[in-house]
Amino acid sequence: MRFSNFVVIKQAVVGYIILLLADVLLNFGFVRRFFRLKEDYNQTNTGYIISASLLLGALFWVTDSVLGSLVFHAESSFLDLLALNIPPYEVYVRTFVILACLVGGLLSSKLLRGQRESDRALQESEEHYRNTMDASLAGIYIVQDLVFKYVNPTMAKLHGYEPEEIGNRLGPLDLIVPEQRDMVRRNFSRRAKGEPGKPYEVKAYRKDGSSFDAMVWGNPVTYRGQPASVWTLIDITERRRAEAKLKHTVADLERSNAELEQFAYVASHDLQEPLRMVSSYVQLLAQRYKGQLDADADDFIAYAVDGANRMQALINDLLTYSRVGTRGKPPEPTDCEAVLDQALANLQVAIEESGAVVTHDGLPTVMADDSQLVQLFQNLIDNGIKFRSEGPPRVHVSAKRLPLPQAGEGRGGGGSEWAFSVRDNGIGIDPEFFERIFIIFQRLHSREEHPGTGIGLAICKKIVERHGGDIWVESEPGKGSTFFFTMRSET
């Protein structure tokens, strides 16, 4: 081999070995610190390798020359001499040595980098979990042999301590009220043994001596190779307080309802009696003094009696209206077809007298108070019959499923709704009055034109709203009316 070619190859090989060495060395902490690299340096940066290599190269050249002059007493470098004057077998040895350095360098570099990366991944993972635990709203703690092994800041804060104060001086049992300590101790040992458990309530102490209600849940875990348990704790004082308040409010409401019911009953009862006196005696007058009184007197008597009768109807209707609230039952799955049948049975006489035809599409099952639903259908259909135009009244009842309401809308709860419609071919309603007709005792016609107290639709509205639905009307004068209302579906 010509001398110059060999030298080039030799220099290239040496250069590569030096690069590898530099890479290997940069895996070591003290080397990195020498080059002022950050601890989290995680990529072989060409710049640093080159500078490291240059340094090493210089070091090598010096060593080579020194060795050459010292060992061989010559003026060329050690490697040059080795290369130029080697007996054949030594070529192989030296080639082997060079190859071994190459491979060794590659391997150790990979190994060291792998080690560094897994160290780094582990550290990142630990940091990740530590951040999570520190940021948790719940208290998190690890207990082993009735001693705190780890307490997150929230846990300390919930008990009114700084994070450093807990753990060393206090044990978990110290933070529990005395009467619960046995139970808690048993639970710690159960969890440590690997028995799973459910969340349960405890009364815990704060630093200032006050106590609060908490819910805790423990799971078995291994800590430093030994069985332990890891727990989460949340403060439920607020929740308990809200529950108590709710119970109070419900009790108040029930009492208020009972009072209202009592009032309505007594009022209607005691109002009826004087009414009867007025009505009966005026009629008795009319009968007893028939012929002795003039036509005017007859008129007067008729008005008086009519007034009394209407008053009685009003009182009864008022009672019915108030009972929608006080006597309502909780909603249950109710078959609307059966409800409609019942309503039609109740309206039998009115239907026959007017020659009305009532039709319907298939009706679903909804969540409702069945007797109130009957009342609702009955009132709407009755109106369709009452407020008729010339031909026989035709009333049609149908239902359509509505899409699910968007999350966050008022009515709450999942499930879909049904929109019912009761369509008639009666006299229709002027849009101006669409709202007014649902008001109690509001009428649009005189009593001669159409009978009734004007409470039917008010009752309908109260029933629908009690079930969480809406009621409205679409109509044109002379073109019939369609009443719509919504009800929650069975699901």
Partner 1 sequence: MSIGPIGTPIEILLVEDNPGDVRLTQEALKDGKVRNNMRVVKDGVEALKFLRREGKYAGMPRPDLILLDLNLPKKDGREVLAEIKGDEVLRCIPVVVLTTSRAEQDILKAYDLHANCYITKPVDLDQFITVVKSIEDFWLTIVKLPRRKGNDR
In whole angstroms, how close is the CB of 320 to partner 1 at the nearest point?
11
Q: Which is nearer to partner 1, 95 or 309 (CB)?
A: 309
Q: Report the SS3 class of residue 205.
A: strand
Nearer to partner 1, 309 or 359 (CB): 309
User: Under rule CB under 8 A, which residues in 289-308 are in contact with partner 1?
Assistant: 308
Q: 58, 277, 297, 357: which one contacts partner 1 (CB under 8 A)?
A: 277
Residue 394 is encoded by which pair of tokens? 């035709």
Query: Does 283 participate in binding partner 1 (rule CB under 8 A)?
Result: yes
Q: Which of 33, 269, 401, 479 touches partner 1 by CB under 8 A?
A: 269
When binding is defined by CB under 8 A, the residue of 168, 309, 359, 416 that contacts partner 1 is: 309
* Cα radius of gyration (the chain): 47
The binding track of 369-388 with respect to partner 1, each residue x by CB under 8 A or -, is --------------------
Binding partner 1 by CB under 8 A: which of 284, 302, 345, 402?
284
Choosing from 95, 237, 280, 359, the residue that interacts with partner 1 (CB under 8 A) is: 280
Footprint (CB under 8 A) of partner 1, residues 311-350: 312
- Pick the closer one to partner 1 by CB: 173 or 275: 275
Binding window for partner 1 (CB under 8 A); candidates: 59-67, 282-290, 456-464, 472-480: 282-290
Q: How far is the CB of 304 from partner 1 (least distance, A)?
A: 12
Q: Rounded to the nearest whole angstrom, what is the least distance from the CB of residue 316 to partner 1 in the complex? A: 8
* CB of 289 vs partner 1, minimal distance in Å: 13
Nearer to partner 1, 457 or 459 (CB): 459
Distance CA 89, CA 80 (A): 17
Q: Is 279 in the site for partner 1 (CB under 8 A)?
A: yes
How far is Cα 331 from Cα 128, in angstroms, rounded to an integer?
49
Quick check: 179 binds partner 1 (CB under 8 A)?
Answer: no
The yes or no reply on residue 262 touching partner 1 (CB under 8 A) is no
Interaction of residue 275 with partner 1, rule CB under 8 A: yes
Candidate ranges 118-126, 150-158, 233-241, 267-275; the one touching partner 1 (CB under 8 A): 267-275
Closer by beta carbon to partner 1, 273 or else 352? 273
Interacting residues with partner 1 (CB under 8 A): 265, 269, 272-273, 275-277, 279-281, 283-284, 287, 308-309, 312
